[in-house]
Amino acid sequence: MATFKEFRNNVKPNWCPGCGDFSIQAAIQRAAANVGLEPENLAVISGIGCSGRISGYINAYGFHGIHGRVLPIAQGVKLANRELTVIASGGDGDGFAIGMGHTVHAIRRNLNVTYIVMDNQIYGLTKGQTSPRSAEGFKTKSTPEGSIESTLSPLEIAMSAGATFVAQSFSSDLKQLTRLIEEGINHEGFSLINVFSPCVTFNKINTYDWFKENIINLEQFPDYDPSDRVNAMNKIMETNGLLTGLIYQNKTRKSYENLVTGFKQEGLSKQNIKITEEEFDKLVAEFK
């Protein structure tokens, strides 16, 4: 069985020193090892942005996609080879701005993919513009007088779209984050894990200290029931989305793959996709 070190490669991350994405990378590697994966069992699909680089930093199959399209690619990989464990990763701009349509439909479709969002409330790679997750009044290069738009709540959107697994963590809490990724991988269906990942270069508001002072950890409430959808939504709204832990999980709904009639367990690479000349002629005849 592979150790987390075997999910490392020789590519050194070029994130800014102190970036929360370092911890998220480590958590993915640890979680993959903890659930018993081998590097050849894992595919990491990423989008554009600082977070998009992560697919090149993990020893596994990797695909660096285009902005906002990480989930169509990840779903395609999973449908082509359902034997692979597929982790999709992107930033809040990637997933909640240009890619929001894909995010909502991936959630409701419930394909067996784990989606990790590195949420730093800003566009980091393009040098510090307001994102959909920036707070009202947030001053950046694109909003020098302060943002006048309301902050998007991905957790509320996920719940209303019919999510079967919703979790949130903080990059400083490596133990919790690793455990949530493990649970997301083991969950049958789509898993959304939003991670507060401070941008130390361009976001001087939502800092490590700020999150430590404002986050409410659900582990403080031993009676909290993540299977109660109504209570989960209420808790999200009560805390203004500043909560961490497993927020909601529905273990009864089947994944998309298990609802498709005749969908084979083995991947396309292992299937015999050759057709006879007779079958070919029959297919061509349909177009005559």
Convert the pLDDT of each residue in 221-265 to its tens digit.
999 999 999 999 999 999 999 999 999 999 999 999 999 998 888
* Residue 46 pLDDT level (bands cut at 50, 70, 90): very high
So what's the pLDDT on residue 166?
98
Convert the pLDDT of each residue in 174-206 to its tens digit.
999 999 999 999 999 999 999 999 999 999 999
Domains contained in the chain, CATH given: 4-258 (3.40.50.970)
What's the mean pLDDT in 151-163? 97
So what's the pLDDT on residue 1?
79
So what's the pLDDT on residue 15?
95
Residue 88 has pLDDT above 90, yes or no: yes
Percent of the chain residues past pLDDT 70, beyond the cut: 100
So what's the pLDDT on residue 124?
86
What's the mean pLDDT in 122-142? 91
* Residue 102 pLDDT level (bands cut at 50, 70, 90): very high
For the chain, what is the mean pLDDT? 94
Convert the pLDDT of each residue in 48-67 to its tens digit.
888 889 999 999 999 999 88
d(CA 109, CA 246): 20
* Residue 4 pLDDT level (bands cut at 50, 70, 90): confident
d(CA 221, CA 240): 17
* Residue 164 pLDDT level (bands cut at 50, 70, 90): very high
